[in-house]
Amino acid sequence: MPNLKIFFVSACFILAGCNTDAQDASKTPVQGTNTLRLLQTIPLPGVEGRFDHFAVDVARQRVFVSALGNDTLEIVDLRTGQRLHSVQGLKEPTGVAFAPELNRIFVAEGAGERCQILDGTTFAVVQSVSGLPDADNVRYDSAAKQVYIGYGDGALAILDAVSGKRLGDIKLAGHPESFQLESKGKRLFVNVPTAGYIAVIDREKRAVIATWSTRAVKANFPMALDEVGHHLFVGCRAPAQELVFDTISGQLADTQRIGGDTDDLFWDAKRARLYVSCGAGVVNVFQVQGRHWSKLADVDTSAGARTSYFVPELDRLCVAVPHRGAQGAELRVFAVQP
């Protein structure tokens, strides 16, 4: 009888252990091989410090990566999987944009307080626009041939992309982070984290026409726009949440938990997906169907890999991995799965 009791108690512990393991397994992040497949790992030896922003030349399959901590702009060929060139001598390069029809690269320099305009073939500086302290995000309006640069304590500078002439400024209540332009409309949406809202700008009037509060959620840095579905996606760090605004009403439509330290996010219109890269070492992949969200995957990357760029024309998601410990600086290129 004593032996039977021992067997019974032992069996209970084994079953309890199995149940505990099952519960833990249910909390394990979903792996993303069915959504993002690692296609290339491109080493960037000698690159130190953090990365900031990307741009792409789709026709030649080149990506431009601002290596802010290294004071360089890294140019990588996706076709060959190799680094083509490293533009030296920049002062904390931040935002970058490429104008394909002009073959010009626009690079903002935070410490340099300017925008450098580079030739897209030789990478030589052809023009410099100064007077842009803490220059940051850059966007190119291909229809108007204009470049927008966020800078300072609260402004967007507007440049003529052809001549490089400064056309004017749009004043804001704080330093602008990520911003997005409508392609079929005249609005521009800007994250202003110190003010706790998104500023809505009329590009023709060059004025703020509305502000949408992020409420109790702070540190709104990255942003993506689903213009067709009328969704504005805003990534926040405190707490780590994704806010979804209805761009018609301006109302907060939904919130989702995301990984920590997000700095980039992108809307995949073809698949109705959202990719959120986080410095915590993960890319969150969400499926969006109307008002319904579901997480498809948490794709592991590396600590500090919060800078990314989605290239819809190539079905590629590029993630910049910084040098940390034994992990060298590199570019990881994921193929987006159907």
Per the structure block, which two tokens stand in for 154?
A: 């609260």
Coil, helix or strand at residue 312: coil
In the predicted structure, residue 84 carries a pLDDT above the cut 70: yes
Query: Which range is least confidently modeled, 1-5, 149-153, 228-232, 295-299?
Result: 1-5
Burial zone of 338 (CB within 10 Å; 0-12 exposed, 13-18 middle, 19+ buried): exposed
Q: Token pair for residue 194? A: 């110190």
The residue with greater pLDDT, 45 or 20, is 45
pLDDT digits (tens, 9 = 90+) for 213-260: 999 999 999 999 999 999 999 999 999 999 999 999 999 999 999 999
Note the helical H segments in the chain. Answer: 2-27
**CB-count exposure of residue 325 (10 Å: 0-12, 13-18, 19+):** exposed
Above 50 in pLDDT, residue 276? yes
**10 vs 39, higher pLDDT:** 39
Per-residue pLDDT at 5 exceeds 60: no
Percent of the chain with pLDDT over 70: 90
pLDDT tens-place string over residues 137-148: 999 999 999 999
Does the pTM surpass 0.95? The reply is no
CA distances from 151 to 94, 133, 177, 211, 326 (A): 11, 6, 9, 19, 35
DSSP at 172: -
Q: What backbone phi and psi angles, to 5 degrees, belong to 19? A: -65, -40
Confidence band, pLDDT 50/70/90 cuts, at residue 293: confident
Residues 6+ apart with CB under 8 A from 257: 240, 241, 242
* Nearest CA among 90, 181, 202 for reference residue 137: 181
Task: State CA 312 to chain mean position distance.
Answer: 14
Whether 65 has a pLDDT exceeding 60, the answer reads yes
**What confidence score (pLDDT) does residue 31 get?**
56
Residue 167: pLDDT over 50: yes
Write the burial class of residue 184 (CB in 10 Å: 0-12 exposed, 13-18 middle, 19+ buried).
Answer: exposed
pLDDT at 169: 98
Return the number of other C-beta atoms located less than 10 Å from residue 103's C-beta: 14
Start-to-end Cα distance in the chain = 60
Lowest average pLDDT, out of 25-34, 250-259, 294-303, 329-338, goes to 25-34
Dihedral (CA of 288, 294, 297, 303) sign: positive
Average pLDDT over the chain reads 91
92 touches 133 (CB < 8 A): no
| Cβ pair 133, 151 in contact under 8 A | yes
Taking residues 39-54, what's their average pLDDT?
98
User: Would you say residue 332 has pLDDT above 70?
Assistant: yes
Looking at per-residue confidence, does 317 or 289 come out higher? 317
Measured CA to CA in angstroms, residue 26 lies from 30, 286, 300 at distances of 9, 18, 17
